[in-house]
Amino acid sequence: MEICADISGTYNSRKLKTNKGDNLTMTLAGGSTYCATIPKHNNQTVNYWIELTDTGGFVTNGSTYTYEQEN
């Protein structure tokens, strides 16, 4: 599943993280939109969130979202 978000501001890293241990770098898709694709975790509930790290090293976690993956 591809996740995209409008992320404005100066950040050293933009990561898409999951409760399945995924730690995915979000890449610039255009403008201020960044995307990453969560790999398959067949028939499991996946929680995901965006983690931003600013230039000073401060980490901000966004809201957590859930979806059920299928085969």
- Alpha-carbon gap, residue 71 to 10, rounded angstroms: 37
Q: Which domain holds residue 20?
A: 2-68
> What are 11's two structure tokens?
């950040």
Tell me the average pLDDT across 65-70: 90
- Alpha-carbon gap, residue 70 to 60, rounded angstroms: 30
Return the H-helix or E-strand segment holding 39.
none
Residue pair 16/48 in contact by the 8 Å Cβ criterion: yes
| Number of domains composing the chain | 1
Q: What is the pTM of this model?
A: 0.90
Query: pLDDT per residue over 1-28, tens digit each?
Result: 999 999 998 899 999 999 999 999 999 9
Q: What is the pLDDT of residue 69?
A: 86
